Amino acid sequence: MELLGIITCGGAALACALFVILSRNTVHSALWMVGNCLALGVLFLLLDSQFIAALQVIVYAGAIMMFIIYAIMMLNQRVSDEDSFRKSLLSGRFVVSFLFMVCLLGLGIGLSPMALKGTMGPHARVQYGEINLLANYIFVQGLAAFELVSVLLTAAVVGAVFLARRD
């Protein structure tokens, strides 16, 4: 059952990512990106991380994507001004990046056995994904990092306002 979900959602995520990259229209890219985010959210649910899934949908698919749509609107640019991307698919750049992709896949697949040492037992599964587990971690061990992230966000807001204002 889980495998079925993984394949469906994973396929959806991959397809969305491909369309993001391949579509000529920037707005379409952004919309496919929303789809990608939603598919990832479902995958997080399948991984028993309800909180992260919620965050993914709200923050990513909601807030950040809204940003991007707004930005595209402000740029007033329906179709990107680059030369036909598909034509350049056979260029050296494409070949290079394709090789990188292959390398990446090789790395990822090579990495997986190493990461899979600690397969959990069935009893441990009960607690995982509960929000208090995460909350305990955030507010005990990760407090400093958490606060720093808030500083980062504040700085980003200030910076964005400063950059985008009309002088």
Site for another protein in 32-71 (CB under 8 A): 33, 36-37, 40, 43-44, 47-49, 51-52, 55-56, 59-60, 63-64, 67-68, 70-71
Query: Is residue 78 close enough to count as binding another protein by CB under 8 A?
Result: no
Q: How far is the CB of 78 from another protein (least distance, A)?
A: 11
Burial category of 19 from C-beta neighbours within 10 Å (exposed 0-12, middle 13-18, buried 19 and up): middle
Establish how many alpha carbons lie within 13 A of residue 71's alpha carbon, considering only the half-sphere containing its beta carbon: 10
Binding string, residues 2-21; x marks residues near another protein by CB under 8 A: xx--xx--x--xx--xx-xx
Q: How far is the CB of 35 from another protein (least distance, A)?
A: 11
Q: How far is the CB of 130 from another protein (least distance, A)?
A: 10
Query: Is residue 144 close enough to count as binding another protein by CB under 8 A?
Result: no
Binding string, residues 103-142; x marks residues near another protein by CB under 8 A: xxx-xxxxxxxxxx-xxx---x--xxx---xx-xxx---x
Answer yes or no: are the C-beta atoms of 37 and 60 closer than 8 Å: yes
119 phi, psi to nearest 5 deg: -70, 130
Q: Which two tokens stand for residue 35?
A: 């789809």
User: Among 42, 54, 74, 144, which residue interacts with another protein (rule: CB under 8 A)?
Assistant: 74
- Please count the residues of this chain forming the interface with another protein, following the rule CB under 8 A: 94
Residue listed under structure tokens 């990608």: 36
Query: Is residue 96 close enough to count as binding another protein by CB under 8 A?
Result: yes
User: Among 8, 35, 54, 72, which residue interacts with another protein (rule: CB under 8 A)?
Assistant: 72
77 phi, psi to nearest 5 deg: -130, 100
Establish how many alpha carbons lie within 13 A of residue 131's alpha carbon, considering only the half-sphere containing its beta carbon: 6
Answer yes or no: are the C-beta atoms of 37 and 57 closer than 8 Å: yes
